[in-house]
Structures are given as C-alpha cells and as structure tokens.
C-alpha cells in the first residue's frame, strides 16, 4: 500500500507528461526546477538556500536558484527603484520600470510557468499550492518592499499573488525563502526517503501524528506501547487515529475542507 502510494506520488511529480513513469530520468537529469528571485535585499536570501535540503537539492542539480538585485535595473545611477505614491500617502512604492525591465530580461532567458508576487493580500500559501508549484519548471518570485509595487506590474506581468499568512512582514524575502523551501523539498530526489513527503502534515489534510525516538523511557515518560510492539498494521492504524485526533483538536478546518 505504501509502495503504491509513493509510486503514484512519483508519477504525479513527473513532468513533462511523456516522461511519466520514468521518474529516474525526470528527477535527476531532465527537468531540474529553476527559480529566479527579484529583490532589493539579496543579502536576506544568502543563507536560507545554503543548508540542509535546499543545499542538497542544488548540489544534486534538482534545483537552481538565482537571486537578482533589482537595482541592476534601476532608473538612475543612484540605484533608484522606488518612488512616492500618486494621490499621496505614506511610504514608497516599487516603480514599474525596474521591475518591468528585470522581468522582460529574465523572460528572454526562461519561459516562466508563473511570475509570483509575494504579498500579504495574495492567495494564502498551503501544502496544496506547494505541491502544484513543485510540478513547474521555471518560477520567478518578486519580493515586494516599502508599500508594495505599482499596480500595473501586478496587472501586466504577475500571474500569481501569494501570501504566507495573515500578517505583514517588512518585505517578500522571507516569504520567498519559505516558498522555495516548501516547493524544493517536494522535488523527487531531494528528501533522503522520498516517500516521507507523502506523510507530512497537510499532505492529506491531516496533521502528522506524534513521533518518538530513543530512549523508550525518559524520566518515566513512556513511548506508547503500540510503537514498540512491531506490528506495522497496528502502528499504521494508531498513527492515522492520532492524526485524526490531532487534526480535530487543532485544525478542524482542515477536516471540513478535506478534498
């Protein structure tokens, strides 16, 4: 059963469709994902992709990430990329010209499947969105700053607007890092045990069950007997039941919205 599920997941992940079933070819050689990120603060994105799974994904050639300083396309020699809002109001806006030029130049190099603007008024990011984006080949992420970006860029270039939660951050860099991490770890070959992404919280609209490691008894706090019994069917049933209990208690909305 587990094998079957993981195999389906692999097939689901294969792109382009003609390669479905040839996971090995797709995941390792033919279709690495490329992500470009446009930002005025590339320094903020230096560390997040240099460790752990994101590092491994890049080393294995499954994922390439390029962070671009938007000021490269500034409107003057002072690196100007923002200006006051028409109609008044506090705060600066990122201007059309640098963003348009950057997007157009990068679009010559790659055909983007999605041009994503990270913004608190975007669609809420979740596991389903991460799954879906992990099937794409080329993504461009735009990190907003100041009071946001000129609406015309959103209208004419952006294909998707994503928020990572109902709170306002000072820029789109951390949301971009979160997006890349959530998507990157789903690429086949990134996780040590590829099936494990299948059992993450949210993958089936359920939170993950409690997990334990050694010692079996820590200060008298014992690991549940069922996990020590070696009966895999019982363990699977127990985990599923615990997932349900946890989801009911903590995120009943997930059960209602289950699809």
Binding residues for ligand ADE, per CB under 6 A? 118-120, 144, 163-165, 167-169, 172, 175
**Separation of alpha carbons 176 and 157, rounded Å:** 18
DSSP SS3 for 143: strand
Q: Which is nearer to ligand ADE, 13 or 163 (CB)?
A: 163
Q: Which is nearer to ligand ADE, 66 or 170 (CB)?
A: 170
Nearer to ligand ADE, 98 or 144 (CB): 144
Query: Closest distance between ligand ADE and the C-beta of residue 4, in Å?
Result: 37
CA 108 to chain centre: 24
Contact 102, 38 (CB under 8 A): yes
Give the Cβ contact number of residue 132 at 10 Å.
Answer: 12
To the nearest whole angstrom, how small is the minimum distance from the Cβ of residue 144 to ligand ADE? 6
Region of residue 191 (left: phi > 0; alpha: psi -120 to 50; beta: else): beta
Cβ–Cβ < 8 Å for 131, 186: yes
Instruction: Tell me the closest approach of the beta carbon of residue 13 to ligand ADE, in angstroms.
Output: 25
Handedness of CA 117, 69, 170, 207 (dihedral sign): positive
Shortest reach from residue 171's CB to ligand ADE, in Å: 6
We find the least distance from the C-beta atom of residue 167 to ligand ADE, in angstroms, to be 6
Identify which of residues 108 and 168 has a Cβ nearer to ligand ADE in the complex: 168
Q: Which residue has the tokens 């689901």?
A: 12
Find the shortest distance in angstroms from Cβ 18 to ligand ADE.
35
Rounded (5°) CA angle 47-51-52: 150
Among residues 90 and 108, whose Cβ is nearest to ligand ADE? 90
Nearer to ligand ADE, 53 or 169 (CB): 169
CB 68 within 8 A of CB 62: no
């Amino acid at each position: 059963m587990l094998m079957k599920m993981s195999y389906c997941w692999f097939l689901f992940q294969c792109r382009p469709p003609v390669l479905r079933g040839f996971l090995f070819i797709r995941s390792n050689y033919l279709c690495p994902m490329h992500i470009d990120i446009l930002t005025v603060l590339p320094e903020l994105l230096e560390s997040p992709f240099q460790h752990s799974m994101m590092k491994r994904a890049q080393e294995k050639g499954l994922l390439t990430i390029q962070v671009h300083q938007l000021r490269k396309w500034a409107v003057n020699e002072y690196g100007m990329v923002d200006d006051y809002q028409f109609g008044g109001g506090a705060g600066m806006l990122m201007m059309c010209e640098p963003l348009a030029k950057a997007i157009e130049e990068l679009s010559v190099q790659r055909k983007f499947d999605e041009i994503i603007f990270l913004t608190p008024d975007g669609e809420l990011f979740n596991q389903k969105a991460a799954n879906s984006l992990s099937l794409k080949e080329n993504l461009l992420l735009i990190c907003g700053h100041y009071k946001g970006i000129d609406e015309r860029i959103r209208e004419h270039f952006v294909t998707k607007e994503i928020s990572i939660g109902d709170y306002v951050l000072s820029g789109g860099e951390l949301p971009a890092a979160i997006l890349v991490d959530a998507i990157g770890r789903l690429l086949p070959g990134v996780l040590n045990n590829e099936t494990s992404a299948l059992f993450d919280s949210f993958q089936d609209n359920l939170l993950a069950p409690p997990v334990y490691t050694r010692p079996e008894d820590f200060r008298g706090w014992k690991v549940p007997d069922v996990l020590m019994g070696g009966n895999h069917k019982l363990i699977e049933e127990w985990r599923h039941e615990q997932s349900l209990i946890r989801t009911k208690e903590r995120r009943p909305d997930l059960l209602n919205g289950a699809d």
